[in-house]
Amino acid sequence: MQAAPPSLLPALYLLSNSFPRLIPPSNSAIQHVSGLSNAALKRLYNTTGDPGDVAFAAKSNVRTLLPHPPLLVTGVTKQAAVEKLLVAARGEEARFLVRTLGQNLRVGAVRTSLTNALARALVLTRRGRAPRRKKGKKAADAARDALNEAFAAAEGLLKRVYVQHPNYDHIVKALLDAGLDGLREQLPLTVGVPLLPTLGSPTRSLDEIYDRLGLLPFAAEFKYDGQRAQITRRDRGDRKRFLSRYFRASRRHDRQDLYPDVVSLVEYLFESSPGIESFIIDSEVVAIDPSTGALKTFQELSNRARKDVKLDDVKICLEKPFRERRALLHSRFPPYTPPLKGAARFDHVKSVESDSGRDAVEEFWQQAVNSSSEGLMVKLLDSGEVLEEPTLKRDKPRRKPLPATYEPDKRTSAWLKLKKDYVAGLGDSLDLVPVGAWHGNGRKAQWWSPVLLAVWDPAEEKLVAVCKCMSGLKPEVYFRPQEVWEIRGADVTVSPVSVAALGLVSETRGLSLRFPRYISSREDKRVEDASTPEFLANMFRSQQAAGKDQTGADEGDLVDVAVGESSGEEAEDAESE
- Work out the burial of residue 133: count CB atoms within 10 Å of its CB; fewer than 13 is exposed, 13-18 middle, 19 or more buried: exposed
223 is catalytic: yes
Backbone torsion region of residue 576, taken as left when φ is above 0, otherwise alpha when ψ lies between -120 and 50, otherwise beta: alpha
For residue 194, say if its preceding peptide bond is cis, omega within 30 degrees of 0.
no
Buried b / exposed e along 389-410 (16+ C-beta atoms within 10 A): eeeeeeeeeeeeebbbbbbbbb
Helix, strand, coil shares of the chain, percent, nearest 5, are 35, 20, 45
State how far the Cα of 433 lies from the Cα of 233, in Å rounded to an integer. 35
* Beta carbons within 10 angstroms of residue 127's beta carbon: 19
DSSP 239: G
> How would you classify the pairing of strands 384-388 and 448-457?
unpaired
C-alpha distance from residue 74 to each of 12, 131, 443 (Å): 11, 31, 52
CA 368 to chain centre: 27
C-alpha distance from residue 109 to each of 11, 12, 91 (Å): 11, 9, 25
C-alpha distance from residue 125 to each of 175, 179, 182, 247, 250 (Å): 11, 9, 15, 35, 28
Strand partners, 353: 219
Which residue is catalytic, options 59, 223, 417, 419?
Answer: 223
Q: Which residues contact 316 (CB under 8 A, 6 or more apart)?
A: 188, 189
State how far the Cα of 181 lies from the Cα of 195, in Å rounded to an integer. 21
Residues with a catalytic annotation lie at 223
